[in-house]
Amino acid sequence: MEFWKCLYEELGSVFVSGVPSGAFGTLINTMDSSYMHFVPAVSDEVAIGLCIGAFTAGIKACVLVEKNNLVLLKEKIKRMKYVLSYAIIIITNGDINFLNLKHFKFKFVGLNDYVYKGNNSAIVVL
């Protein structure tokens, strides 16, 4: 609850998408519709696509992706950037240092200024 409230205060209205998997069980249970709008997706790739679409339409978006699936989607996330410029916040779990995501930068404060004004994507690790 505090996490979503924090995001809401930082970003304003937020569009959140992701696969409702067990890894984010606690986080999903604390979701509150007064702070955000959650759309469950059929797969992680679709969830990322929905968030990129939301950003294109002018809405701030976060996506929940499991650490293991982020490995598979790394290349597609990178290639998508060549076609359409976007900035989304990827919320994941566990240690992701082995992914070597050089095009992402880590930032835990000032997400609104960092992500949406600078057109950079960011990863929030829980």
Partner 1 sequence: MTNIVTYKKTMLFIQELLKDKIVIYVGDLIVSYLTEVTKNSYGTLQVVDTELDFISVATGMALNSFKKITVVFDDNYLFKHYSSLIQASASRCKNLFFVLLVTNNYLAQLKQPNLYKSVGSVNGMLFELGFLTHIYTRFFKNRKLFNELKDTYYNFIGPAIGIIEVNNNKYHVNTSKVYVNSKLFVDFVRYAPKEDVEGTESDSTSLVIKEN
Query: 1, 72, 84, 126: which one contacts partner 1 (CB under 8 A)?
Result: 84
When asked if residue 80 is in the footprint of partner 1 (CB under 8 A), the reply is yes
**Subset of 19-78 contacting partner 1 (CB under 8 A):** 39, 41-43, 45-59, 61, 76
CB of 96 to partner 1, least distance (A): 22
CB neighbours of 52 closer than 8 A, spacing ≥ 6? 61, 80, 84, 86, 88
Return the percent helix, strand and coil in the chain, to nearest 5: 45, 20, 35
- Choose the binding region for partner 1 from 4-12, 80-88, 90-98, 102-110 (rule: CB under 8 A): 80-88
CB of 104 to partner 1, least distance (A): 18
**Dihedral sign, Cα of residue 32, residue 94, residue 67, residue 104:** positive
